[in-house]
Amino acid sequence: MKANPNYAAGYNGRGLIWEKMEDYKAAISDFNRAIELDSKVAIYWYNRGCHFYSLGEFQKSLDDFTQAISINKKNSMVYASRGLAYSKLQMYSEAIKDFSQELLLNKSFQTYNNRAYCFAKLGNYMKAIEDYCFALSVDKENVYALYNRGLLYMTIKNFKQALNDFTRVVDKEQENGDAYFNRGYCYEQLEDKEKAELDYEKARTLNRVDSLTN
């Protein structure tokens, strides 16, 4: 960069290093300079957008991701990132569109999780369950998908399916007090009072431990 102060890629690369070093002011300065020198490179906009996202400046990140997409419409990770920014801004319909576009380019189970969350926030529980099911068909050990699918099954009063999901969660995370509590509620709705109380007591015990730890 000393030899060529107009080397945009150098500023972009150094910006990434500054960001890892948590020198955000220096990072944004370098990303700005890279874009100033060559505004037609999508990755420069994407990297600055990721920087803004990390700082919680979601509207700025969304704007940068949109600019990156206008330059390169084939990069799946930019749609996924903009979908997350939309989700943070509670613009769930727009997020779903981006996650759907990302899935056309790259079948990522994490994106199914993200889209399911947005469907659930819009009250489209069956679509959300469908996405969590697909995520679990790819990664059967995904506790996030299991737990959230269990919550959705509870919401639509399918307590048997919800109970199965929470059981799988506690099998993997034996200290998950929320999963025990929710499973207890399912047992209660299915009129198995004894098992319900056992799970409620387990949840109370774990929550007391959490309170002492915190």
Q: Specify the pLDDT at position 214.
A: 37
Neighbours of 51 (CB within 10 A): 22
- CA gap 113, 167 in Å, rounded: 20
- CA gap 9, 156 in Å, rounded: 52
Angle at 11 between CA 5 and CA 66, to 5 degrees: 130
Single-letter amino acid, residue 9:
A
- CATH code linked to domain 125-214: 1.25.40.10
The reply to whether domains 8-106 and 125-214 share a CATH topology is yes
Domain ranges across the chain: 8-106, 125-214
Neighbours of 186 (CB within 10 A): 26
Q: Specify the pLDDT at position 211.
A: 38
CATH architecture of 8-106: Alpha Horseshoe (1.25)
Q: Which of 68, 56, 62, 55 is nearest to 19 (CA)?
A: 55
pLDDT in tens, 85-140: 999 999 999 999 999 999 999 888 899 999 999 999 999 999 999 999 999 998 88
In percent, the amount of the chain with pLDDT more than 90 equals: 88
Q: Specify the pLDDT at position 209.
A: 44
pLDDT in tens, 42-96: 999 999 999 999 999 999 999 999 999 999 999 999 999 999 999 999 999 999 9
The answer to whether residue 208 scores a pLDDT higher than 70 is no
Query: Is the backbone of residue 139 left (phi > 0), alpha (psi -120 to 50) or beta?
Result: beta
Torsion of CA 104, 107, 108, 112, to 10 degrees: 70
DSSP letter (8 states) at residue 115: H
Neighbouring C-alpha atoms within 13 Å toward the C-beta of 141: 2
